[in-house]
Structure 1
Amino acid sequence: MQATSSKALPQQVPPRAASAGAASSQPVVPPVRRRAFAPLEPIGARARVLLGLGFFVVFVLVWSLATLGGFVSPTFLASPPTMVKEGWLLFTEYGFIGDIGMTVWRVFGGFLLAAVFAVPLGIAMGTWKTVEAFFEPFVSFCRYLPASAFIPLLILWAGLGEMQKLLVIFIGSFFQIVLMVAVTVGGARRDLVEAAYTLGANSRGIVARVLIPGAAPGIAETLRLVLGWAWTYVIVAELIGSSSGIGHMITDSQALLNTGQIIFGIIVIGVIGLLSDFAFKALNRRLFAWAAL
């Protein structure tokens, strides 16, 4: 009787063995393999730097091949060694460092002047629709006017001094900043505004604690972009009626058919602009680190 009853009892499966069997029955998902040229696939910081430097290397090699190989006349395009030699002469014999200083001062002076007036107006236009309806048509109209078209009038109004050059940069930057800031502030999340009203905030508190903090990273990015445009305006301002600056040097070099100095001046503008852009990015990441989360 005992043997018969023992055979009738079901076998007990240990819990750990059952869970292991259930886990083994699930399909195994293979790891995702990243592809270098997949759309929107991120790359590492080291690869980004190497690729960026690689383009400049290829560019210089093609430039050297075209000039040193005799495919392009030196009258129209100087070779890289000639450009470096002319740049050295600019610094050692012609006081080019002073021209760089004047150009940098004009760029940042005109840009800061535009930002001081444009950012508050842009915030007001993005916050209150009545202000936007009043200013937006005129600002949009002026945004399409080239800053260089105002140079003859600015020479008549302000002469050939520094104020004329600052005003060219101001006009070229002001209207762009106003509209871009207005769009950034006006794109605030409505749910955050309604939540602030629910918690008892008034109109002033909505602007000071919701709209401006939420739009601050976008406003900083707008200023970074417009600073790059300001470099194009300063060269236009210095090409006419100027006795100093990188644009003035380029004009004098053009009269002498010295393409080495012209190219060197253009490269200096690009290098200074790139350094200022990196500095602006680093400052934005430091001030608004939470925006990248």
Structure 2
Amino acid sequence: MDTATRAAGTAPPPRRSSLWAFRGTLSRPAQVGIGVAASVGLLLAWEAVARLGLVNSLFLPAPSTVLNAMLVMIQKQDLLWHAGVSTLRVWAAFALAAAMAIPIGILMSSYRVVGAALEPIIDFIRYLPVPALVPLSIIWFGVGEGTKLYLLWLGTFFQLVLLVADDMRRVPQEYIEIAHTLGANTRQMLRDVAFRAMLPGLVDNLRITLGWCWTYLIIAEIVAADSGIGFVIWTARRYMKTPEVMAGVVVIGVIGLVTDQLLRAAHRRAFRYL
């Protein structure tokens, strides 16, 4: 107990393990190790439940059964090709949504008249359930690739544009005032000050909304599709092939996990100062 603590008449706070410290930190190897251990534990518990017959295998096949179904689908049903098609669709729709949402979101936050005009419309549309708009999308775009991209875009754009506007609003007003004092014009303030200040948060929100885009994949690929993971899952569902359905879901999860970790690593590397 140090002198200051004695003078105050209070005991020092009890030491807690850094592993359980409130808002504590963990090394990268520790995070990876805990994540792998938790995942393996979950898989073992799932395997045990399925093998012991506690749940009907029609509803919950064992992970080993799902893995075997996945290997067969890769060899005989072109699962990897379908995964590639779905990935291209998601990234195309997401790129279009981001290209539109970033400038619109910045304008909504920078100019109140733009925000006042667009926010009610965006708030209305973003609460509409995407599945309910499938019939309209077929009427507007037919049953081709355009409908699939539109549904993926629809589920992403209206969420992302508000996140971009919020990122822009979080840029400290002091930055804008200092740039204005130094003689920067509006374009310079937006490009060189505000955009750079909001960029870390923007990249993080892009990563999050990319995950949202994947959640609409099944909806997009049941519309007269003959390719994609959604098509594979929907076809297997018709014949109650639960292992194949879960194999398709697992493939989506693996693609999402790998993509998310790569984007996290790129974010840490690009914004080391955070």
What is the TM-score of this pair, normalised by structure 2? 0.92
Unaligned 5+ segments in structure 1 are: 1-25
Counterpart Cα distance in 2 of 1:197 and 1:32: 50
Per-residue CA shift, 1:42-85, capped at 9, x if unaligned? 12222211111111112111111111111122222211221111
1:130 is aligned to 2:113? yes
Q: Which residue identity lines up with residue 172 of structure 1 in the other structure?
A: G
Q: Which structure has the bigger radius of gyration?
A: 1
Code of the aligned partner of 2:151:
V
| The 10-residue stretch of structure 1 (217-226 or 146-155) with the greater mean CA deviation from structure 2 | 146-155
Cα RMSD (Å) of the superposition?
1.8
What runs of 5+ residues in structure 2 fail to find an aligned partner?
Answer: 6-11
The equivalent of 2:9 in structure 1 is: none
For 1:153-212, what per-residue CA distance to the aligned partner results, in whole angstroms no more than 9, with x for missing partners? 111111111111000011111111111101110121111111112112222222122111
1:86-142 Cα offsets, whole Å, 9 max, x none, are 111101111111111111011101100111111110111111111111111111111
Matched, 1:99 2:82: yes
- Pair 1:90-2:73 in alignment: yes
1:186 aligns with 2:169: yes
Residues 147 and 169 of structure 1 are in contact (CA less than 8 Å); yes or no, is this contact kept in structure 2?
Answer: no
- Alignment partner, residue 278 of structure 1: 261
Using the aligned pairs only, state the percent identity: 36
Partners of 1:289 and 1:48 in 2: CA distance:
19
- Provide the rounded CA distance (Å) in 2 between the counterparts of 1:196 and 1:171: 36
The offset of 1:31, in angstroms, is 11
CA apart distance, 1:28: 9.3
2:243 aligned residue: 260
What is the correspondence of 1:1-293 to structure 2 with a 5 Å cutoff? 27=3, 33-35=15-17, 36-290=19-273, 292=274
Size of the aligned set, in residue pairs, is: 266
How far is the alpha carbon of 1:279 from its aligned partner? 1.6
* Inter-partner Cα distance in structure 2 for 1:217 and 1:42: 21
Cα distance in 1 for residues equivalent to 2:105 and 2:192: 17
- Give the drift of 1:250: 0.9
Instruction: State TM-score, norm by structure 1.
Output: 0.86
Distance 1:188 1:83 in 2: 47
Once residues 57 and 259 of structure 1 are traced to their aligned partners in structure 2, the CA distance between those partners, rounded to angstroms, is 22
